[in-house]
Amino acid sequence: MTTYMTPTADTITTRTTAIKLHGPEAFEGMRRAGRLAAEILDALAPFVQPGVTTGQIDDIVRQMTLDGGAIPATLGYRGYAHSCCVSLNNVICHGIPGDKVIRDGDILNIDVTPLLDGWHGDTSRMFLAGDVPIKARRLVEVTYECLMLGIEQAKPGNFLGDVGHVIQSHAEKHRYGVVRDFCGHGLGRVFHDAPEVVHVGRPGTGPELRPGMIFTIEPMINGGKPGIRMLDDGWTAVTRDRTLSAQFEHSIGITETGCEIFTLSPTGLHQPPYA
Ligand code: MF3
Ligand code: CO
Ligand code: CO
């Protein structure tokens, strides 16, 4: 059973099982945090090139986040010690920045979450380094389409199952696998809140969408099977069959008529092929 709540000063900062229905103040806070998150990814674009390390990307993200008056929400989150996640090629998500050098033909996801005035702007997109083979570019494009098809379903009266269903249908039409082990999430003053946003599903199932809900959609799509394997670092998830994986993420809020995307790039850079 799904329950909804109007957050109060006491509950707004705590994770709840009920789904929070936020007001205009939250939407304004999310707009600002989401805008900064998108601008951080925009600024990375020229920098993500063969020869750069994932640790250097993390340094830039940290600096840009602080310059924007925010704090990287991942820094110290459950023991995570970095300002973003950088997930290369067969890494599905939560790749830890370090000495790894980006090479020609790599695809990578960079996921940032600036915490600005108490609000979390959570977004990720794919970057292409150098000359990327068509097969990998196709996976990136279809994954972006999956996110946007899901967002089209995000409106009052629809259900989370409608969102998952279109994502799954589109991915599987291309014989890709949708990762089941990680999902989108409610957010706001809380980083990971109810509901869980699963990227597969059946129409008309799951929680009904209502104005004021704020959550991410962040499909992880594998070039092969959906299975994952966790590395010994306890964070990095890779494809079990070693195929490539892609992901895009936006933070959105349900409005009276549809939804507002908080993490759109002011310059349109959120969208492949980033011409
Ligand atoms: N930004 C990720 C998400 O989309 C969460 C990363 S948590 C970390 O939910 F600790 F791995 F960074
Ligand atoms: Co997220
Ligand atoms: Co994220």
Q: Give, for all 275 residues of the chain, the pLDDT tens digit.
A: 899 999 999 999 999 999 999 999 999 999 999 999 999 999 999 999 999 999 999 999 999 999 999 999 999 999 999 999 999 999 999 999 999 999 999 999 999 999 999 999 999 999 999 999 999 999 999 999 999 999 999 999 999 999 999 999 999 999 999 999 999 999 999 999 999 999 999 999 999 999 999 999 999 999 999 999 999 999 999 999 999 999 999 999 999 999 999 999 999 998 987 65
Predicted pLDDT of residue 273: 77
- Nearest Cα to Cα of residue 26 among 267, 184, 217, 252: 252
| Ligand 3: centre distance to CA 73 (Å) | 10
pTM for the model: 0.98
Which atom number of ligand 1 is nearest to the Cα of residue 74?
12
| Ligand 1: centre distance to CA 85 (Å) | 7
**Binding pocket residue ranges, ligand 1, CB within 6 Å:** 74, 77-78, 80, 85, 94, 111, 113, 122, 218, 235, 249
| Ligand 2: centre distance to CA 34 (Å) | 12
222, 245 Cβ separation under 8 angstroms: yes
Helix (H, G, I), strand (E, B) or coil at 253: strand
Predicted pLDDT of residue 88: 98
89, 244 Cβ separation under 8 angstroms: yes
| Ligand 1: centre distance to CA 191 (Å) | 9
Predicted pLDDT of residue 274: 66
Q: List the residue whose alpha carbon is closest to atom 2 of ligand 1.
A: 111
- Nearest Cα to Cα of residue 107 among 88, 92, 93: 88
**Tokens 């994954």 correspond to what residue?**
143
DSSP state for residue 85 in the 8-state scheme? E
Encoded tokens for 244: 């490539």
Q: Around ion ligand 3, which residues have CB less than 5 A away?
A: 111, 122, 124, 249
106-134 core/surface letters (b: 16 or more CB in 10 A; e: else): bbbbbbbbbbbeebbbbbbbbbbbeebee
21, 210 Cβ separation under 8 angstroms: yes
| Ligand 2: centre distance to CA 18 (Å) | 18
Which atom number of ligand 1 is nearest to the Cα of residue 218?
4
Q: List the residue whose alpha carbon is closest to atom 4 of ligand 1.
A: 122
Which atom number of ligand 1 is nearest to the Cα of residue 85?
12
